[in-house]
Amino acid sequence: MDNVSLSNTTVKICNMREASFLLPVCTILAIVTLVTLCGNVLVIISIAYFRQLHTLTNYLVLSLAVSDLLIGIMVLPFVIFLFVTPCSPLHDVLCRVRGFFDMLLCLASILNLFCICIERYYAVCQPLSYQTKINSRIILGMIFMVWSLSSVLSFVLTFGGNKSKERCAIVQILKLSVIAAVIAFHIPFVVMFTLYMKILLVVRRQARSIHTASLSDGVSKAERRATLMLAMVIGVFFICWAPVSICATYQPFNHFSLPLKVMEIFKFLAWLNSMLNPFIYAYSHSLFRSAFRFILMGKIYTKIGPNARLQ
């Protein structure tokens, strides 16, 4: 009798699980997923199609867009499914799979951004040695290291820690959550912020130089565009990832006292980073705006070719 009552109670909880929030939460997640997919597909097509966008920086941007796109394909749909079906027989397995891809793709996204910052540092601060230190082979090596390191770390951090006994949540509480936060946020942000401050000082110094402005005006404009894009990407990255990363660092030392719903909201904010990056490219870089316009208007299927002049 007790077992029957317990079973009936469990079914009732599953059927009534946050019913008043189910529709709005799933609607918001579906919209974020759709916008993430569309925005990053635009970035990938733009860089792959238009030769004017075939630069070393944009190869790293392409890798970043792929990781953000895969978050929209392999993470957010899992989140929606697990939220809607908390008592599915495959819930625990899908929870682990979602957790692995979440860690893998979020790490790849952050490390791609880290590599973009390094490339910009050499381009602006050490232009004379840029050609020898940064080339297509080095960029491909960076991309390979990003995805290899992300795969290894995500496996260790996902399966090496003990998951909480609570239901599969958007945020999984691991014993290794502090290590994950340090690797995925604290170290990359400190390094990126330091490099960007150096880049900003050099750009301001170049802007004051009459010789630089007169001899390489086109080059300096291109560098300023890329630097502006980097600044916005780093700023949005900090806004989106700081809350969940700081809380993940703080939680183990405070007996995991922070409500799980708060952590889930912060994690959702972190996923927004993958949706916002394409808008940053469009806002800060006129070439991306032109490419997006050509694609959305269907001009790439007419007389427009990959050699089209973007303005």
203 within domain boundaries? yes
Q: Which domain, by its residues, includes 43?
A: 22-301
Stronger pLDDT, 124 or 204, i.e. the higher one: 124
| CA distance linking residue 66 with residue 30, whole number of Å | 19
| Residue 54 included in any domain | yes
Instruction: Of 98-107, 118-127, 131-140, 163-172, give the lowest mean pLDDT range.
Output: 163-172
The 10 Å CB-count burial string (b at 16+, else e) for 137-172 is ebbeebbeebbeebeebbeebbeebebeeeebbbbb
The more confident residue out of 178 and 105 is 105
Report residue 14's pLDDT band, with 50, 70 and 90 as the boundaries.
Answer: low
Query: Is residue 9 in a domain?
Result: no
For residue 7, what pLDDT is reported?
A: 42
Q: Tell me whether residue 152 is in a domain.
A: yes
- Mean pLDDT value of segment 162-173: 50
Whole-number pLDDT of residue 209: 67
Does residue 57 have a pLDDT over 60? yes
Mean pLDDT on 224-253: 82
pLDDT at position 137, please?
A: 93
pLDDT digits (tens, 9 = 90+) for 185-222: 889 889 988 988 888 888 777 766 645 455 455 445 66
In the chain, the number of structural domains is 1
CATH number at residue 41: 1.20.1070.10
Whether residue 302 is predicted with pLDDT greater than 80 in this model: the reply is no
Asked whether residue 16 is domain-assigned, the answer is: no
Q: Which of 114-128, 158-172, 203-217, 249-263 has the highest mean pLDDT?
A: 114-128
CA 47 to mean position of chain CA atoms: 18
Residue 5 located in a structural domain: no
Average pLDDT score over residue span 15-44: 82
Q: pLDDT-based confidence at 62, cuts 50/70/90?
A: very high
Q: Is 221 inside any structural domain?
A: yes
Residue 236 has pLDDT above 80, yes or no: yes
Q: What is the pTM of this model?
A: 0.83
Alpha-carbon gap, residue 278 to 36, rounded angstroms: 8
Mean confidence (pLDDT) of the chain: 79
